[in-house]
Amino acid sequence: MIINNHLSKTKFSMAIMFFIGFTFFVLANCKGQNPSAVKPNIILIMADDLGYGGIGSYGEHRIKTPHLDALTREGIKFTDFHSNGAVCTPTRAALLTGNYQQKSGLEGVIYAYNETRKTGLDTSQITIAKLLKNNGYRTGIMGKWHLGYQKEYNPVYHGFDEFHGYVSGNIDYHSHIDGSGVYDWWHDLEIVEEEGYVTDLITQHSVNFIHENRDNPFFLYVAQESPHNPFQGRNDPALRSLGTGKYTPVQDKRRAYKEMVEVMDEGMGKIMGALEKNNLLENTLVFFLSDNGALPIGNNGGLNGKKALLLEGGHRVPAIAYWKGHISPGESPETLITMDLLPTFLSVSRSQVPQDVKFDGRDFSKILFDPSKLEERTLFWRFRDQKAVRRKQWKLLINESDTTLYDLHQDLNERNDISNRHQDKVRNLVEEFEEWEKKIGQNQMKTF
């Protein structure tokens, strides 16, 4: 009995030691794996009109962005990430719905000063906020909405529990007046008076949201205005007044633009600081990107084209994923697009979705934790009289006047049209685009 008891104790001790050792092994190797113990928080930060080369880690030298550069060093830098649209509204519609923006009828920009002001994202649309909210998440949007001016399209009707921001395409950074001369700063369903530089207000409300929801899983969409025009720094005067959206620009736009991006980066640091203060860094996926390419005042990394064009400079954007302890630093060349974020966030959060709900976007969560390749697919863009289709390195641009083909592996700047040498490729890509248009429908909002 004494011998058996001793053996039992020995076996028990060995079992305990094995369990402890195994636990340490698992913890030591959890980096690079999708955690499954708790629902992670998700923070999505979207810059406005920030070009592919607009921050230091993507090649910008004049403008200092230390916090975004640190995020890049410690996370995944995506080098072939694209916006669904070459302008604001379409990309945001695709982001919220996980589908091509044509499906929600928002292919063009919703403007403050014409009949598009009456349109918006229909509340029947399934959105990332609705889905995450149904799966136990607290949801918030701070900043730019641009998916409907009318109250019926307000973010709170699209699944967001909390909204501090503006509904138009841009507002004066100080007076908060939109392009038609209307004051545009909201708290949920009410217009409220709140003084402050817009970038700072968006950042502060984001930090508050993190503090207030630190004990529950949350989805926070930080939609910065920066560096969209009007170009105004912190200490510049207000340019717009009530009753008119017209204004005289600041004299030194480049100085103002530089400050706008740097203040946004400063806000990025405050958001990361709030996560650290609340011990949330290891349970929060942070994703940063832009809604489209830059205007000529910005930096598109030497790419041909700009905002509103379907050349690479109009829709190839910086994108960074960070999750302390789970995502290993690196670089990904995978071809991704804005609408992929919704299914990816659903996967990371292990959210339940009705079986009949399908998305055009695809889940790329596995490459966050394992540098594997995704299956090839074809991507499509359509805006005004421009059309584009991308398959592997081949990109076809279809305009009213001509059709051009580029090999992006050899000619990322889209300078050398090789359509005459690859007529079979042209035909195949045209056929794919025509088939996509049949599925997506020709209907679209009037564009200007």
221 three-class SS: strand
Report the alpha-carbon distance of residue 16 to residue 322 in Å, rounded.
Answer: 35
- Given 67, 82, 88, 176, which residue is catalytic? 88
- Tell me if residue 343 falls in helix, strand or coil: helix
Crossing angle of helices 253-277/66-74, nearest 10°?
50
Indicate the helix (H) or strand (E) that contains 407: strand 403-407
DSSP string, 254-286: HHHHHHHHHHHHHHHHHHHHHHHHTT-GGGEEE
Nearest to 48 by CA among 332, 267, 324: 267
- Given the residues 67, 146, 176, 205, select the one marked as catalytic: 146
Considering only CA atoms, give the Rg of the chain: 24
Is 30 annotated in the active site? Answer: no
Assign residue 222 a region (left: φ > 0; alpha: ψ between -120 and 50; beta: otherwise). beta
Q: Which residues, at least 6 apart from 400, have a Cβ–Cβ distance to it below 8 Å?
A: 385
How is 114-177 classified by DSSP, letter by letter? SGGGG-B--TTS--HHHHHHHTT-EEEEEEE--SBSSGGG-GGGGT-SEEEEESSS-B-TTT-B
- How big is the chain, counted in residues? 448
DSSP code per residue over 50-100: --TT-SGGGT--SS--HHHHHHHHHSEEESSEE-SSSSHHHHHHHHHHSS-
88 among known catalytic residues? yes
Instruction: List Cβ neighbours of 270 (8 Å cut-off, separation of 6 or more).
Output: 203, 204, 207
Residues carrying an active site annotation: 88, 146
